[in-house]
C-alpha cells in the first residue's frame, strides 16, 4: 500500500498559494497540503521532519517550489536539499513565473526534478497545478528519505 505523503508548497504569493491549494483539492487528492511562505520556512519544516523519530507524518512526496522568495530563495532551498543526505531524493518541482534561461539552467544544475512556468490563464494554472499534484503525489514512486 502506498504511503500518503504531504505536498509541500513553498511560495510567497498568497494568491498563488490559494490557487494551488484549490487546484490540488479539485483533483480530490487526499494528501495534506503544507504551506511555507518562503524558503526558510520550507527548510525549517523539512529539518523538523528529518528523522523518523521526529516525524508525525510521512515526509513530503513533492515540494512545489517558487524561485523568487524573500529570505531564502528557491535556488538556496534546492542546493540545501541536494546537499542533505536525508532530502537529496525529495522530488522538487520548480513552479515559477520566470522563463529566463539562466533560471531554468540554474534550477536543473541545483537539482530540480522539473521546471514549470506558472500559466497566466486562470484555468490553465489550475489545470497545470492539478496535473502536477496528481503525478507527483499519486503516480510517482519516491525514494525513501534517509534516516
| pLDDT at 101 > cutoff 90 | yes
| pLDDT at 46 > cutoff 50 | yes
CATH class of 7-139: alpha beta
What is the model's pLDDT at position 128?
94
What is the model's pLDDT at position 147?
43
| pLDDT at 50 > cutoff 90 | no
Mean per-residue pLDDT, 73-79: 97
Task: Please report, for the chain, how many H helices and E strands are present, in that order.
Answer: 5, 5
Mean per-residue pLDDT, 23-37: 93
Q: Domain extents for the chain?
A: 7-139
What is the model's pLDDT at position 3?
78
Cell 494528501, located at residue:
31
| Mean pLDDT lowest among 15-24, 49-58, 100-109 | 49-58
- Alpha carbon distances (Å) from 86 to 7, 47, 50, 106, 120: 17, 9, 7, 22, 35
Amino acid at each position: 500500500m502506498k504511503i500518503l505523503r504531504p505536498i509541500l508548497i513553498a511560495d510567497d504569493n498568497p494568491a498563488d498559494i490559494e490557487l494551488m491549494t484549490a487546484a490540488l483539492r479539485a483533483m480530490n487528492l487526499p494528501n495534506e497540503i503544507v504551506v511555507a511562505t518562503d524558503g526558510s520556512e520550507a527548510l525549517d519544516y523539512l529539518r523538523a521532519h528529518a528523522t523518523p523519530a521526529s516525524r508525525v507524518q510521512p515526509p513530503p512526496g513533492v515540494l512545489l517550489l517558487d524561485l523568487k522568495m524573500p529570505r531564502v530563495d528557491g535556488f538556496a532551498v534546492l542546493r540545501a536539499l541536494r546537499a542533505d543526505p536525508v532530502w537529496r531524493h525529495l522530488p522538487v518541482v520548480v513552479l515559477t513565473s520566470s522563463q529566463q534561461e539562466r533560471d531554468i539552467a540554474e534550477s536543473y544544475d541545483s537539482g530540480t526534478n522539473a521546471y514549470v512556468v506558472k500559466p497566466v490563464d486562470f484555468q490553465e494554472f489550475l489545470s497545470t497545478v492539478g496535473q502536477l499534484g496528481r503525478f507527483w503525489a499519486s503516480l510517482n514512486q519516491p525514494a525513501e528519505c534517509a534516516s
